[in-house]
Amino acid sequence: MSELNKIALEILNNGKGILAADESTGTMTKRLEGVSVPSTPENRLLFRETLFSSLGMKEFIGGVILYDETIKQTSSKKNKIPELISSMGSHPGIKVDTGAKVLAGSPNEKITEGLDGLRDRLREYFHLGAKFTKWRGVYNISKDYPSKLSIQSNAHALARYSALVQESNMVPIVEPEVLMDGDHSAKDCYQKTSEVIKKCFEELILHKVDLTGIILKPNMILSGNKSKNKISNEEIAKLTLECLKNSVPSEVPGIAFLSGGQSELEATENLNLINKLNDTNFIMSYSYGRALQQSALKFWSKNIQDIDGTQRIFNHRAKMNTLAAQGKWSKEIENQ
């Protein structure tokens, strides 16, 4: 077993999942201002260190994705943040893309940037304690999109990123996110997601990426958030599993879904159903941002001093998702 494969499995084994806490300052500012908390470096750290020092980290969270600001911060108890995460039995990771920008040649679409100078930045993050990294490509669905250009260029960037990350002895999370925005059907989402993922693997293989040492972070197959034809959770699970079976090479050890705007409960329930049906060798777990943090953030914003209360809410969500990653979640357990 390679070292990278070992890390990928440590992150996702036994129902463990990933806490995506890598909101860039702009996104984190939106989240904090949404609950009327000023977005200062101190407040961003305070909320995040409250989550990272929760007991649930030990049992349920195998990895935390950080943003550049956070990986360099020191907690109120004077621990470096990557050390705090490691001391909770979890692996620190880092978002290394520099964001999605307008794609020249197709101005309604985005290309993710950050390859220039990446090798040097990776060296720095490795020394700061990162064991894995993340890069997110974004695709929107409409009549003409995603275009061949966006599918090809984002896959190319994801592959070049992954090759550099493995060269630096870290596990790349490959995140091609087909957005749920729009009125498209689940069938459109299925077709586009499948095209996007297949192209990513074509490029990863071309760039000689070791597929046993990556984690794929895809969207689930959903109808658009403005679509009138919603499908059931059972259908979401069935289509998601079928799409991944047909597009992901069997060497990949683990798949960790993004929540992508689903509510906390939807994201848990869908993951649970996927795992009940899972007849593959892929671990199917979670790498949730909003679906792990929303309730905890809401509570914290009104009770900033109540660390225990905030942690209780976060621990519960992490536990529910870990049960779902094993197909063992139920509404009864949720409400106990």
From 150, 142, 136, select the one nearest 104 (Cα to Cα): 150
Q: In sequence order, which residues have a C-beta less than 8 Å from that of residue 167 and are 6 or more positions away?
A: 119, 122
Q: Which stretch binds ligand 5MM (CB under 6 A): 8-16, 17-25, 38-46, 190-198?
A: 17-25
Residue 225 touches ligand 5MM, criterion: CB under 6 A: no
Q: What span, in angstroms and rounded, lies between the C-alpha atoms of 161 and 159?
A: 5
Give Cα 82 distance to the centre of its chain.
18
> Does position 291 bind ligand 5MM by CB under 6 A?
yes
- Contact predicate 18/93, CB 8 Å: yes
Q: Which of residues 177-196 bind ligand 5MM (CB under 6 A)?
A: 177
Site string for ligand 5MM, 99-118 (x = CB under 6 A): x-------------------
Q: Which is nearer to ligand 5MM, 4 or 291 (CB)?
A: 291
Q: Which of 20, 57, 283, 313 binds ligand 5MM (CB under 6 A)?
A: 20
Q: Using the rule CB under 6 A, is 259 a contact of ligand 5MM?
A: yes
Q: What is the DSSP letter of 248?
A: S
Catalytic residues: 217
The correct pick among 6, 14, 24, 233 for binding ligand 5MM (CB under 6 A) is 24
Contact 95, 134 (CB under 8 A): yes
| Axis-axis angle for helices 148-167, 186-206 (nearest 10) | 50
Among residues 254 and 289, whose Cβ is nearest to ligand 5MM?
289
**Residue count at the site for ligand 5MM (CB under 6 A)?**
15
Residue 137 CA: distances (Å) to CA of 86, 165, 197, 243: 28, 16, 11, 18
Tell me which residues touch ligand 5MM (CB under 6 A): 20, 22-24, 27, 99, 136, 177, 258-260, 288-291
